[in-house]
Amino acid sequence: MLTIYHNAQCSKSNGVCQLLQQEKIPATIVEYLETPPTAAELKHLLQLLGMKASELIRKNEVLFIEQFEGKALSEEDYLQAMIQYPILIERPIVVNNGKAIIARPPEKVLSFI
């Protein structure tokens, strides 16, 4: 089963959901702002993505700029920032068969599945 870590306020995330709906591909939607991932879940997603926490964080997000920009952050600091402020997690994350991608642009999901 396909899983999407989704932010309903994100056009790219909404685009992925619309594409899957058009193709009649079922997916589990995780509204990660309402149900933030735990540290273990986020570490697992990073492993599936083959990314570091510093690569998954949205550095252009106003919250990141105001609170973290210019600071010397460790990977654990980035991880904790995303746990505390899930809005900082890049999206949408799509998980399928033990692999994950950031589906940007949304059409990327079609070649992934």
CATH number for position 107: 3.40.30.10
Read off the tokens for 47: 């492993």
SS3 (DSSP) at 47: helix
**Residue 1 clears pLDDT 90, i.e. is over it:** no
CB 95 within 8 A of CB 2: yes
Same domain, 47 and 76: yes
Q: Count how many domains the chain has.
A: 2
Same domain, 18 and 43: no
Same domain, 95 and 82: no
Specify the pLDDT at position 70: 93
Same domain, 41 and 28: no
Same domain, 64 and 79: yes
Same domain, 72 and 99: no
pLDDT tens for 49-72 read 999 999 999 999 999 999 999 999
Residues 72, 83: Cα–Cα separation, whole Å:
18
**Residue 113 clears pLDDT 90, i.e. is over it:** no
CB 18 within 8 A of CB 9: no
Specify the pTM.
0.92
Residues 6 or more apart whose Cβ sits within 8 Å of residue 11: none
Specify the pLDDT at position 56: 97
Catalytic residue among 10, 19, 33, 49: 10
SS3 (DSSP) at 36: coil
Q: 9: domain range?
A: 1-32+91-113
Same domain, 26 and 53: no
Same domain, 81 and 52: yes
pLDDT tens for 79-96 read 999 999 999 999 999 999
Look up 17 and say whether it is catalytic: no
Beta pairing partners, 27: 2
